[in-house]
Structure 1
Amino acid sequence: MTNLHHLAQQAVRQALESGRTVGTAESLTAGMVSAVLADTPGASGMLQGGVVAYQNSVKQSVLNVPSALLASVGSVDGDVAGAMAAGARTVLGADVGLSTTGVAGPEGHDGKPVGTVYIGIATVAGTSAFEYVFDGNRAEIRGQACGAALERLLEALSS
């Protein structure tokens, strides 16, 4: 976990220095990203909040992910990650929205193999998504997804 805490410390510091706030929307990580950020001193100055959107119904109703998108591609998709991040940015009133969606296992989901993860980032400049394929058991994949999300957040805050 120390690497996660180190990344979180960097992200919190970068957000505070740049005066930007962050909101999260998490599916497979189910709150891990916001929890690791909140473990970091100073997080109250940058973390707006987080939405755990495990079910598609929550992705739709809370984060405004289009139902047609979910119906056509499933929940494990780059466009869905982007829409989740944009939704988090909007509903949480944050400068940066950060999302995670993916397959932690033990079985595939929506036609995607175990270990497939998408991280979404939304800022005033627009929305982007990043695809990853991780190896390991459920807990390891969730941990790697959390680390990837913190890395992408740090990148977004550094630009």
Structure 2
Amino acid sequence: MARNPLADALGLDHDELTKLVATLRERAETVATAESLTGGLVVAALTSVPGSSAVVRGGVVVYATPLKAQLAGVDPAALAEHGPVHPLIAEQLADGARVACGSTWGIGLTGVAGPDPQDGTEPGVVHLAVSGAGHTIVRTIGIDGNRHQVRSGAVRAAFDLLNARFEEPAGG
């Protein structure tokens, strides 16, 4: 199989990425993203796979805090109370992406890539969520390394979380 330069740059297994897209196709499911920390890398990785247009509905990059509410449907009160780097924000990003794009699954990511802390949160803290109709899974993980390693690790973690959802009934 041909190499995927983006997958290689992110440390993703090309075959696993292709399998993820194929699984979505087989299940007749779609995915959308709302990304802060990763700046669009999740949707870019998905769309690097031929045939991904059948499953990727879209994505928004909401790097600026106000855009999380304006474009991804995050509750402004939650942003005011918790700040942009919080598990609840990842959950609302995922659900907002799913609803706004009319997809089966939504993926939301927020965190601190570094090198400096943000609002008291240390670099390497990542909050990610996968939303399906009626149920959202949220994870907080720590990733050691430089800015690139944190961001690419967050992409891998998002795909791992989505893959874990495939063990559940379709759409749930």
TM-score normalised over the length of structure 2? 0.88
Structure 1 residue runs of 5 or longer lacking an equivalent are: none
Q: Is the aligned partner of 1:100 residue 2:116?
A: no
Deviation at 1:111, TM superposition (A): 1.6
Deviation at 1:75, TM superposition (A): 1.0
Deviation at 1:26, TM superposition (A): 0.6
Deviation at 1:20, TM superposition (A): 0.3
Bigger relative contact order, structure 1 or 2 (CA pairs below 8 A, ≥6 apart) = 1
Aligned pair partner of 2:161 in 122, 133, 152? 152
Q: Is the aligned partner of 1:70 residue 2:62?
A: no
Contact kept in structure 2, 1:24 and 1:85, CA below 8 Å = yes
Contact kept in structure 2, 1:78 and 1:131, CA below 8 Å = yes
Deviation at 1:8, TM superposition (A): 2.0
Deviation at 1:158, TM superposition (A): 3.7
Q: Note closer, same or farther for the CA distance 1:51–1:74 as it changes in structure 2 (3 Å cut).
A: same
- Supply the distance in 2 between the matched residues of 1:112 and 1:59 (Cα, whole angstroms): 18
Q: Secondary structure of 1:48's match?
A: strand
- Supply the distance in 2 between the matched residues of 1:43 and 1:8 (Cα, whole angstroms): 10
Alignment size in residue pairs:
159
Deviation at 1:21, TM superposition (A): 0.3
- Supply the distance in 2 between the matched residues of 1:14 and 1:148 (Cα, whole angstroms): 17
Q: Secondary structure of 2:114's match?
A: coil
- Supply the distance in 2 between the matched residues of 1:110 and 1:10 (Cα, whole angstroms): 38
In the other structure, the counterpart of 1:135 is 144
RMSD, aligned CA:
1.2
After TM superposition, the runs of 4+ consecutive aligned structure 1 residues lying more than 6 A away are none
- Supply the distance in 2 between the matched residues of 1:7 and 1:110 (Cα, whole angstroms): 35
TM-score normalised over the length of structure 1? 0.95
- Supply the distance in 2 between the matched residues of 1:110 and 1:51 (Cα, whole angstroms): 23
